[in-house]
Amino acid sequence: MTLRELEYLVAVADTGHFGRAAAACNVSQPTLSMQIRKLEDRLGVVLVERTNRRVAMTAAGERVAAQARRVLAEAREIATLAKALRAPLSGPLHIGLIPTLAPYMLPWAIPALRKTYPALMAVVHEEMTGQLLGRLAAHTLDIACLALPVQNARLTTVPLFDEAFLFACHRTSPLAKVRRVDPAELASENLLLLSEGHCFRDQALAVCGLTAARGRAVADFSATSLETLKQLVAGNTGSTLLPAMAAQDVPARGPIVLKPLADGGARRIGLVWRASHPHGGEFAGLAAALRRAAPAVVRAVNR
């Protein structure tokens, strides 16, 4: 069998249609259909169920297509490895970031990467932690930047920096007058949080000594972004916790007051990639470039 035949099979499985699969593979429909037939004859199993109205994968076809995706991913990594041997970290690199990090890190991280690796083309994906880890496992992402720790023996993790949490409240709040906020005091606050699925929500609850089940400090409203939380605090709807980079643009004389936490609560941000990735040996250098470029509001973690 050939990689091309496997590519055709995966395209049919993904699109559920011979015509769309052929278009995706830039071949004619008869050519694609004939190659699928050849693959079936070679394997001795029916992979695709054909009717006048629809195309469906058989149980065998689903299993073979799943394995074909892995084979094609490995083949792409061979090509990537060969390119890496010619020029380190050149061409497209798919980088994932969590939503509470991407808007605040990308403005300084991308220029730093371009300076260090001028031939690198960063392709950015902004998704939550679970989705990024799934994409790493599926080989559709090269590297991810997220909050540590990540427990997975198949992944390599390298710390970048520690980012402090700041308490954000309205200027009229009693806590706006204290020097440092004791996290224990937040149990009685109308604490605004991100919606479930964001790792920062769990981190904020942990800082306050709460759990989602107890939730006595959780406001009725859950936001989908830190920017929304800031607007709600400015409108005196409640208070929240913000990572340091997200708090940089809060005006000093505006309605939001920022206070450090008495226990110095923070999150550790790091890079994560598959241990088998062909660029794995070079990602440590990429991490070093990001540490050098990190703003003063975070503390670089040197290995």
**Out of 38-42, 89-93, 249-253, 295-299, which region has the weakest mean confidence (pLDDT)?**
89-93
pLDDT-above-90 percentage for the chain: 60
What pLDDT is attached to residue 37? 92
pLDDT-above-70 percentage for the chain: 92
What pLDDT is attached to residue 264? 79
**Residue 219 banded pLDDT, cuts 50, 70, 90:** low
pLDDT at 299 over 90: yes
pLDDT at 84 over 90: no
In terms of phi and psi (left: phi > 0; alpha: psi -120 to 50; beta: otherwise), the region of 187 is alpha
pLDDT at 122 over 60: yes
pLDDT at 87 over 80: no
Q: Name 49's bridge partners.
A: 56
What pLDDT is attached to residue 281? 84
Residue 252 backbone dihedrals phi, psi, to 5 degrees: -65, -30
pLDDT at 223 over 80: no
pLDDT at 103 over 80: yes
**Residue 112 banded pLDDT, cuts 50, 70, 90:** very high
Is the Cβ–Cβ distance between 87 and 119 less than 8 Å?
yes
pLDDT at 17 over 70: yes
Cα–Cα distance between 108 and 104 in angstroms, integer? 8
- CA distance from start to end of the chain: 46
What is the pLDDT of the chain when averaged over all its residues?
Answer: 88
| CB neighbour list of residue 226: distance below 8 Å, 6 or more residues apart | 100, 103, 194, 200, 242, 243, 246
pLDDT at 217 over 70: no
Burial label for 111, CB within 10 Å (0-12, 13-18, 19+), is exposed
**Residue 200 banded pLDDT, cuts 50, 70, 90:** confident
Cα–Cα distance between 243 and 100 in angstroms, integer? 8
**Out of 31-45, 71-85, 262-276, 282-296, which region has the weakest mean confidence (pLDDT)?**
71-85
Amino acid at 273: W
